[in-house]
Amino acid sequence: MNKLRLTLSLLIALAAVPAFAQTSHTPGNPPSMMREHAAREAYIDDLMRRMTVDEKIGQLRLVSLPAGANPDRAGFMADIREGKVGAVFNTVTPKDIRVLQQAALQSRLKIPLFFAYDVIHGQRTIFPIGLGLASTWNLDAIRQTGRVSALEASADGLDLTWSPMVDISRDPRWGRNSEGFGEDTYLTSQIGAELVKAYQGDDPAAPGSIMAVVKHFAAYGAVEGGRDYNTVDMSPLRLFQDYLPPYKAALDAGAAGVMIALNSLNGVPATGDKWLLQDVLRKQWGFKGITISDHGAILEMIKHGVAADGRDAARLAITAGADMSMSDTIYGENLKPLLDSGRIGMADLDRATRDVLRVKYDLGLFRDPYRHIGPPQNDPPDVNAESRLHRGAAREVARESLVLLKNQGGVLPLRKQGTIAVVGPLAKSQRDMMGNWSAAGRTEQTVSVYQGLANAVGERARLLYAKGANVIDDPEIVKYLNLYEQDVDVDPRPPAQLIDEAVAAARQADVVLAVVGESQGMAHEASSRSDIVIPDSQVRLLKALKATGKPLVIVLMNGRPLALTWENDNADAILETWFAGTEGGNAIADVLFGDYNPSGKLPMTFPRSVGQIPIYYNHLNTGRPFDPLHPDKYTSRYFDATNGPLYPFGYGLSYTTFRLSDVALSDPSMPRGGTVQASVTITNTGNRDGATVVQLYIQDPVASISRPVKELKHFQKVMLKAGESRKVTFVLDEDDLAFYNAQLHYGAEPGLFNVYVGLDSQDVKQASFTLK
Ligand code: BGC
């Protein structure tokens, strides 16, 4: 931990240094950087002169070699030795990686491979899923998860991660919400940038650092109907205003790479979208790094209906600017004939090859191909050793990621005494606790809710356990979820028997904890849902538990906002825990017993029902806004349901209470290029210490285009002792007021602005100023 702290402070000190990938190419860099840049280009020029066309094409091939796959059988080793592979992903131990690198160094030009992996929320220590991290609203804590991920991944011989995933989503049906940071552009941008800096440190080649590849460019989170891989069609305004900024923020923070989205955007598959990959990414944003297609995406352009065959798809991708091709042989088979027939130019191939070589150069691999792999004598004797984990960091961030949604009559925190019934199909699940994309995390090293509770109470309280229900009863769905990985373990006993057992446990208990929700595989890639309720089998269990009359606490595990109307009406308390990672069970116990006062806030709106989707806090007002205080017929509303969210964006309770003062502005107007300070005083009015998140939103009520009712622009997490008050000040500048107008020009328009400050997006205090 000390070493980690040291690295962290170093990182914080260096965070101010201009970021790596960008600065080394930007005019105006210090002379040493310019020299380094020139040296790199000279090195690559020399290499390129010596490379054959086949060797160049080889550099563009990215191959997946998962643990247990025999590289010889698939002919990969021979290909690597012949320089026909540029990089490998999914191999995760120094020992396995070294063998592949040794083979690469037998190739004619000895160009090393780089090694990548989906280190999304941890490598060996698994942190909460993206939505959980976002719920902390704590950038320091998030940075720490990125640092630990990089330390562990580089110690495993890895060079690069396919992360951060910053796809904005306003549709809970989409399974990949779990990987991202929610619906908000600003929050997601902040988190993405923080993770990039944490992964890469001041130098991604350094031991303890890895390169970041931001994904999925662009707007993958806006797939129609929340159905994975589906079409994305959106106005340029919305694209530039809401969906693109997080990618840009990650690149500005120095991300070395971009993974291209699988979807089409306004009719053009991203993988073949010259406008996106060149005009926006390279020309407008000045990106100089590497672009990587997503899994098999180049070939998929045939099914998208923009390429006639593989050759056509390869031509489209390379000319659009997709450098590396993931998990297919399409470049290998087609680029040479395309060159020979003049359908692509050598410049296309050279540009892509150079991008790959630059990454390898920047990773220090030409100087030392074993840079992250290390010598064999340093190989961990046991890659899964407990000593390689960072449990302290995992527990700290996990407790901050939990969101208290309801707590009626102060049923929480629980006392560590009496009898507690712990029921539900997820209560003892270690696999689900890790969530999806759990990298090299180990199920057996993960703390389940039950285990965490048992650790916390010791001999002081009696825990009763019953599974109570299967996650889902539909055998077809179980089959689907178990297709590529054992996701759902089915208890073969009849549902009624499972429920009876749970009810019997509940009857003997003082309080019932029902650990319910989704299996991790239900909130994943290829895991879109047409409804977002807790599956029937578990709701039946909840209803039976409710009927016992015992206090009912729902502990949710899930990877998307759920529709929880019955639960909200009937449970005494609800704690949203997402998938909280290696230390999840301990962190959940910390909150349930009040050893940590919950401080998480929702990064995504929770609708009342699937029919309200898309529902998001920063919507436009419309010409006929619905007013719940004066409900009128001809307004923008549903007539068959309560309007508005069940839990708004930014919402989350605490065991203490907070009072927010009115908003004080330093000035009634902001001069161009100037600032206005907005201050509030926050007081902990309860009798427990606790943290909360002060959120500042802006609205431009009269502009050349309709602007959202409010948009998050600043936030601050504050820890207050019981009774303590603190003044929180936000400095607003013109950029906070700026937006893309109908001509896609970015800037702030003069006039009135509303400032809203609150502890969620709905319950806010207002002040106003003008921009001159
Ligand atoms: C996913 C990417 C991931 C890649 C490699 C794809 O299916 O869309 O997010 O990085 O696989 O595992």
Q: Please report, as a single letter, which amino acid is at residue 107.
A: S
- Which residue, among 677, 576, 503, has the nearest Cα to 182 in the 3D structure? 576
50 part of a folded domain: no
Whether 582 and 686 map to the same domain: the answer is: no
pLDDT at residue 5 greater than cutoff 90: no
Q: What is the predicted pLDDT for the residue at 72?
A: 74
Q: Please report, as a single letter, which amino acid is at residue 138.
A: N
Alpha helices, H only, 15-157: 20-23, 31-50, 53-59, 76-81, 94-104, 130-136, 139-155
693 part of a folded domain: yes
pLDDT category at 204 given cuts 50, 70, 90 is very high
Q: How far is the CA of 638 from the centre of ligand 1 (A)?
A: 37
pLDDT category at 16 given cuts 50, 70, 90 is very low
Whether 422 and 556 map to the same domain: the answer is: yes
Among 90, 115, 119, 162, residue to substitute to test ligand 1 (most atoms within 8 Å of Cβ):
162
Rg (CA), the chain: 26
Q: How far is the CA of 601 from the centre of ligand 1 (A)?
A: 28
Name the 3-class secondary structure at 630: coil
Of the listed ranges 32-46, 384-398, 552-566, 646-660, the least confidently predicted one is: 32-46
pLDDT at residue 306 greater than cutoff 60: yes
Please give the structure tokens belonging to residue 211.
């390169």
DSSP state of 153: H
Sheet holding 87-89, edge to edge: 290-292, 257-260, 211-217, 160-161, 114-117, 87-89, 61-64, 325-326
Give nearest CA residue, ligand 1 atom 10: 162
DSSP state of 66: -
Q: What is the predicted pLDDT for the residue at 683?
A: 98
How far apart, in whole angstroms, are the C-alpha atoms of residue 235 and residue 646?
A: 28
Whether 534 and 675 map to the same domain: the answer is: no
CA 713 from centre of chain:
20
Among 295, 326, 327, 527, residue to substitute to test ligand 1 (most atoms within 8 Å of Cβ):
295
Residue 294 CB less than 6 A away from ligand 1? yes
Q: How far is the CA of 300 from the centre of ligand 1 (A)?
A: 14
* Euclidean distance between the first and the last CA atom of the chain, given in angstroms as a whole number: 51
Higher pLDDT, 26 or 113: 113
Q: What is the predicted pLDDT for the residue at 29?
A: 59
The number of the ligand 1 atom at minimal distance from the alpha carbon of 90 is: 12
Give nearest CA residue, ligand 1 atom 7: 295
Q: Where does a domain end: 559, 574, 595?
A: 595
Q: What is the predicted pLDDT for the residue at 328?
A: 85
Residue 525: domain span: 394-595
Among 260, 294, 300, 324, residue to substitute to test ligand 1 (most atoms within 8 Å of Cβ):
294
- Give the CATH number for residue 432: 3.40.50.1700
Query: Maximum CA pair distance of the chain?
Result: 79
Q: How far is the CA of 296 from the centre of ligand 1 (A)?
A: 10
Average pLDDT over residues 58-70: 89
- Which residue, among 315, 306, 356, 321, has the nearest Cα to 333 in the 3D structure? 315
Give nearest CA residue, ligand 1 atom 11: 295
Burial tier of 414 (Cβ tally within 10 Å: 0-12, 13-18, 19+): buried
Give nearest CA residue, ligand 1 atom 8: 294
Q: What is the predicted pLDDT for the residue at 15?
A: 34
Q: How far is the CA of 259 from the centre of ligand 1 (A)?
A: 9
CA 279 from centre of chain:
26
How far apart, in whole angstroms, are the C-alpha atoms of residue 592 and residue 500?
A: 25
- Which residue, among 168, 166, 159, has the nearest Cα to 199 in the 3D structure? 159
- 355-371 pLDDT, tens digit each: 999 999 999 999 999 99
User: HEC profile for 307-346?
Assistant: CCCHHHHHHHHHHHCCCEEECCCHHHHHHHHHHHCCCCCH
Name 516's bridge partners: 556
pLDDT category at 33 given cuts 50, 70, 90 is confident
Q: What is the predicted pLDDT for the residue at 74?
A: 67
Residue 312 CB less than 6 A away from ligand 1? no
Is residue 335 within 8 Å of residue 358, measured between CB atoms? no
565 part of a folded domain: yes
Q: How far is the CA of 162 from the centre of ligand 1 (A)?
A: 8
Q: How far is the CA of 294 from the centre of ligand 1 (A)?
A: 6
The number of the ligand 1 atom at minimal distance from the alpha carbon of 162 is: 10
DSSP state of 610: G
Q: What is the predicted pLDDT for the residue at 497?
A: 98
Please give the structure tokens belonging to residue 257.
């790479």
Using a pLDDT cut of 70, give the percent of the chain over it: 96
How far apart, in whole angstroms, are the C-alpha atoms of residue 335 and residue 314?
A: 7
- Which residue, among 405, 407, 415, 399, has the nearest Cα to 686 in the 3D structure? 407
Q: How far is the CA of 547 from the centre of ligand 1 (A)?
A: 44
Is residue 299 within 8 Å of residue 269, measured between CB atoms? no
Whether 421 and 524 map to the same domain: the answer is: yes
The helices-and-strands tally (H runs, E runs) of the chain is 25, 27
- Which residue, among 326, 327, 349, has the nearest Cα to 336 in the 3D structure? 349
Residue 162 CB less than 6 A away from ligand 1? yes
Residue 295 CB less than 6 A away from ligand 1? yes
Please give the structure tokens belonging to residue 140.
């320091």
- 103-145 pLDDT, tens digit each: 999 999 999 999 999 999 999 999 999 999 999 999 999 999 9
Whether 403 and 544 map to the same domain: the answer is: yes
Residue 152 CB less than 6 A away from ligand 1? no
Is residue 569 within 8 Å of residue 589, measured between CB atoms? no
How far apart, in whole angstroms, are the C-alpha atoms of residue 496 and residue 338?
A: 64
Q: Where does a domain end: 577, 595, 613?
A: 595
Residue 215 CB less than 6 A away from ligand 1? yes
Among 525, 527, 528, residue to substitute to test ligand 1 (most atoms within 8 Å of Cβ):
525
Active site residue 294: yes
Is residue 46 within 8 Å of residue 81, measured between CB atoms? no
507 part of a folded domain: yes
Name the catalytic one among 167, 171, 294, 736: 294
Q: How far is the CA of 292 from the centre of ligand 1 (A)?
A: 11
Give nearest CA residue, ligand 1 atom 12: 118
410 part of a folded domain: yes
Whether 553 and 679 map to the same domain: the answer is: no
pLDDT at residue 279 greater than cutoff 50: yes
Q: How far is the CA of 295 from the centre of ligand 1 (A)?
A: 6
488 part of a folded domain: yes
Is residue 537 within 8 Å of residue 495, measured between CB atoms? yes
pLDDT category at 678 given cuts 50, 70, 90 is very high
pLDDT at residue 4 greater than cutoff 70: no
DSSP state of 491: P
Average pLDDT over residues 303-307: 98
Is residue 340 within 8 Å of residue 311, measured between CB atoms? no
Q: How far is the CA of 326 from the centre of ligand 1 (A)?
A: 9
Please give the structure tokens belonging to residue 18.
């201009």
Give nearest CA residue, ligand 1 atom 2: 294
Whether 559 and 688 map to the same domain: the answer is: no
Calculate the average pLDDT of the chain. Answer: 95
Q: What is the predicted pLDDT for the residue at 565?
A: 98
Whether 409 and 510 map to the same domain: the answer is: yes
Name 213's bridge partners: 257
How far apart, in whole angstroms, are the C-alpha atoms of residue 738 and residue 59?
A: 42
The number of the ligand 1 atom at minimal distance from the alpha carbon of 216 is: 9
Residue 296 CB less than 6 A away from ligand 1? no
Whether 484 and 573 map to the same domain: the answer is: yes
65 part of a folded domain: no
Whether 669 and 741 map to the same domain: the answer is: yes
Among 92, 118, 165, residue to substitute to test ligand 1 (most atoms within 8 Å of Cβ):
118
Whether 587 and 683 map to the same domain: the answer is: no
Q: How far is the CA of 293 from the centre of ligand 1 (A)?
A: 9
Higher pLDDT, 74 or 306: 306
296 part of a folded domain: no
- 371-429 pLDDT, tens digit each: 999 999 999 999 999 999 999 999 999 999 999 999 999 999 999 999 999 999 999 99
Whether 666 and 588 map to the same domain: the answer is: no
Q: How many CB atoms lie within 10 A of CB 250?
A: 30
pLDDT at residue 632 greater than cutoff 70: yes
How far apart, in whole angstroms, are the C-alpha atoms of residue 30 and residue 609?
A: 55
Q: Please report, as a single letter, which amino acid is at residue 307.
A: A
Average pLDDT over residues 13-20: 30
- Give the CATH number for residue 690: 2.60.40.10
Q: What is the predicted pLDDT for the residue at 21?
A: 29
- 609-624 pLDDT, tens digit each: 999 999 999 999 999 9
pLDDT at residue 18 greater than cutoff 60: no
- 241-260 pLDDT, tens digit each: 999 999 999 999 999 999 99
Q: What is the predicted pLDDT for the residue at 75?
A: 85
Residue 170 CB less than 6 A away from ligand 1? no
pLDDT at residue 1 greater than cutoff 60: no
Q: Report how many domains make up the chain.
A: 2
Residue 220 CB less than 6 A away from ligand 1? no
Q: How far is the CA of 150 from the centre of ligand 1 (A)?
A: 19
Angle 59-62-63 from CA coordinates, rounded to 5° = 130
Residue 525 CB less than 6 A away from ligand 1? yes
Please give the structure tokens belonging to residue 226.
């929340």
pTM of the prediction?
0.95
Average pLDDT over residues 726-750: 98
- 550-585 pLDDT, tens digit each: 999 999 999 999 999 999 999 999 999 999 999 999
| 628-629-635-639 Cα dihedral, nearest 10 degrees | 50
* φ and ψ of 546, to 5 deg: -60, -40
Give nearest CA residue, ligand 1 atom 6: 295
Using a pLDDT cut of 90, give the percent of the chain over it: 93
Q: Where does a domain end: 576, 595, 614?
A: 595
Residue 118 CB less than 6 A away from ligand 1? yes
Residue 371 CB less than 6 A away from ligand 1? no
Please give the structure tokens belonging to residue 283.
């020309």
| 507-509-510-514 Cα dihedral, nearest 10 degrees | -90
The number of the ligand 1 atom at minimal distance from the alpha carbon of 262 is: 8
pLDDT category at 35 given cuts 50, 70, 90 is confident
